[in-house]
Chains A and B, each alone.
Chain A
Amino acid sequence: MTVTDYPVIVGSVLFTDLVGFTEYNEAVGDIEALRVLDEQRSLVDGHLDGQDARLVKEIGDGLMIWIGSAVGGLSLATCLLEAFAGIHESGTFPLAVRMGMHHGESIARGDDLVGQTVNVAARISALAGPGELLVSQELLAACGSAHAQESLRPVGPVLVKGLQHPVWLHRFATS
């Protein structure tokens, strides 16, 4: 089997992560930790309804989401960021969420996606702080002018193993 036997799809890959989930689990126990994961899943599922997007997989306390377009991806990610910030601020959700997103080609392997677009999105997510969304220049370029430039701020280039050129990142924050 070769790589050409797998379909290549173009879209945006979003990673989310609950900041401090392991320590939270340790402090409050498994049942409460599971409740938090269920609440996260329920909120995300609600935002995915009717979108050209799907939850690819849960990775511990993190989620990997694929969205069919960059504009749709940025819109979904900012809506999720604000929704999580809202329930966190009100005290009903105990942890902050961080997110990273990249745009490009991925290889579909069953329900899963693999490839550099996925790797880069994961790396970007790891650089975000609580309540932050970091996105790549490639994602913004794919959006064209259909994004709110004023809410984004450059945060620097990230050098990713296997990529010849650095990936330039921008920060979107709810406040």
Chain B
Amino acid sequence: MTPVQDAARQITVRISSTSDRLRVVAEARADVLVEGDAIVHRDGSCTTIDSTGRRIVVRVPVRTDLVIGTTSARVEVEGPVGQIAVVTKSGRVSVEDATSVDIRTSSARVEVGCTSDECCVRTSSGRVEIGVCGSADVTTTSGRIVVQAANGPVKAHCVSGRVEVGLMAPDDVAAETVSGRIHVTVPHGVAVTTNDDRSLLTAWPGGAEASITARTVSGRVDVSSK
């Protein structure tokens, strides 16, 4: 076990890993602790970890910013972290609680519990499930993305896949698909009408309004209330 950092300021941990399994635990601590075979380099508030062992566990202070790259590892991030960016080809990525996420994958399965700010996900064919987020910017080619509760503006793009977004606040939605399906759900009591330019207008209880712009070639973009 290697304690590598003790700082009270915002910490960034950058991890590149060829391991089978990478687990990051954000907990009440001031340092960064690496369990497993890894080369660790510290530069100010930034710690860079290059892991080659089969399994690695990295313990970080709460709300640490993370930048992670793997090929096909199982990536688990537990506890509240800050901004997190993950690039992976396949495998499985789960993030419990982050300020914001940016996840790019070819076919990995992605699960995000909650983010307070932006949730950005790019996938080709993987399945993505996002619980609660601020704004959402999601893209899939042929996979399926589910955003259960977005509390900010939403950008959803799919080629032939499927995107489902639950909108919880009066924010704009920009949805675009070639031949896929994008489905937006608004809360019960929100009125949806069509504008002159064929975009949709949502009228929320309390008087707030927002727009849903949809662009499709042969796909389908629809809105319903629950």
Mark A residues whose CB is within 8 Å of B: 19-20, 23-24, 26-28, 91, 94-96, 126-130, 153-159, 166, 168-169, 171
Residues of B within 8 A of A24 (CB): 178, 217
Q: Give the nearest-CB partner of B106 in chain A.
A: A126
Q: Give the nearest-CB partner of A153 in chain B.
A: B102
Query: Would you call A156 and B179 a contact (CB within 8 A)?
Result: no
> In whole angstroms, how far apart are the Cα atoms of A126 and B68 in the complex?
18
> In whole angstroms, how far apart are the Cα atoms of A156 and B120 in the complex?
13
Query: Would you call A27 and B14 a contact (CB within 8 A)?
Result: no
B17 CB to nearest A CB, Å: 9
Q: Which of B16, B106, B139, B179 is in CB contact (< 8 Å) with A159?
A: B16
Residues of B within 8 A of A153 (CB): 102
A24 CB to nearest B CB, Å: 5
> In whole angstroms, how far apart are the Cα atoms of A94 and B106 in the complex?
24
Query: Would you call A129 and B14 a contact (CB within 8 A)?
Result: no
Query: Would you call A159 and B157 a contact (CB within 8 A)?
Result: no
Q: Is chain A's interface secondary structure helix, strand, loop, or mixed overall? A: mixed
Say whether, besides A26-B179, A127-B87, A130-B139, A156 and B157 are in contact (CB < 8 Å): no
> In whole angstroms, how far apart are the Cα atoms of A130 and B122 in the complex?
9
Q: Give the nearest-CB partner of B217 in chain A.
A: A27
Which B residues between 65 and 79 are near A, CB-CB below 8 angstroms?
67-71
Q: How large is the interface on B (under 10, 10 to 19, 20 to 34, 35 or more residues)?
A: 20 to 34
Q: Give the nearest-CB partner of B69 in chain A.
A: A157
Which B residues between 100 and 117 are near A, CB-CB below 8 angstroms?
102, 104, 106
> In whole angstroms, how far apart are the Cα atoms of A161 and B163 in the complex?
32
> In whole angstroms, how far apart are the Cα atoms of A153 and B102 in the complex?
10
Q: Which of A20, A26, A130, A154 is in CB contact (< 8 Å) with B85?
A: A154
> In whole angstroms, how far apart are the Cα atoms of A155 and B139 in the complex?
15
> In whole angstroms, how far apart are the Cα atoms of A94 and B218 in the complex?
12
Say whether, besides A24-B217, A130-B157, A159 and B104 are in contact (CB < 8 Å): no
Q: Which of B68, B85, B102, B178 is in CB contact (< 8 Å) with A27?
A: B178
Residue B18 interfacial (CB < 8 Å) = yes
Mark B residues whose CB is within 8 Å of A: 14, 16, 18, 50, 67-71, 85-87, 102, 104, 106, 120, 122, 137, 139, 141, 157, 159-160, 176, 178-179, 215, 217-218
Query: Would you call B104 and A155 a contact (CB within 8 A)?
Result: yes
> In whole angstroms, how far apart are the Cα atoms of A169 and B87 in the complex?
9
Query: Would you call A129 and B157 a contact (CB within 8 A)?
Result: yes
> In whole angstroms, how far apart are the Cα atoms of A96 and B155 in the complex?
13
> In whole angstroms, how far apart are the Cα atoms of A156 and B17 in the complex?
11
> In whole angstroms, how far apart are the Cα atoms of A130 and B157 in the complex?
8
Q: A20-B178, A28-B217, A158-B69 are in contact. List 11 more A-B contacts (CB 8 A).
A: A23-B160, A91-B215, A96-B176, A127-B104, A130-B139, A130-B176, A155-B67, A156-B102, A157-B67, A157-B68, A159-B71
Residues of B within 8 A of A20 (CB): 141, 159-160, 178
Query: Would you call A19 and B159 a contact (CB within 8 A)?
Result: yes
B151 CB to nearest A CB, Å: 19
Residues of A within 8 A of B18 (CB): 159
> In whole angstroms, how far apart are the Cα atoms of A156 and B215 in the complex?
30
Say whether, besides A127-B87, A159-B71, A27 and B179 are in contact (CB < 8 Å): yes
Residues of B within 8 A of A95 (CB): 178
Q: Which of A91, A94, A129, A159 is in CB contact (< 8 Å) with B217?
A: A94
Query: Would you call A157 and B178 a contact (CB within 8 A)?
Result: no
Q: Give the nearest-CB partner of B142 in chain A.
A: A23
Please list 20 pairs of residues, one from A and one from B, whose beta carbons are closer than 8 Å in the complex, sorted by A's number: A20-B159, A20-B178, A23-B217, A24-B217, A96-B176, A127-B104, A128-B122, A129-B104, A130-B139, A130-B157, A154-B67, A155-B67, A155-B85, A155-B104, A156-B67, A156-B68, A157-B16, A157-B68, A158-B87, A159-B18
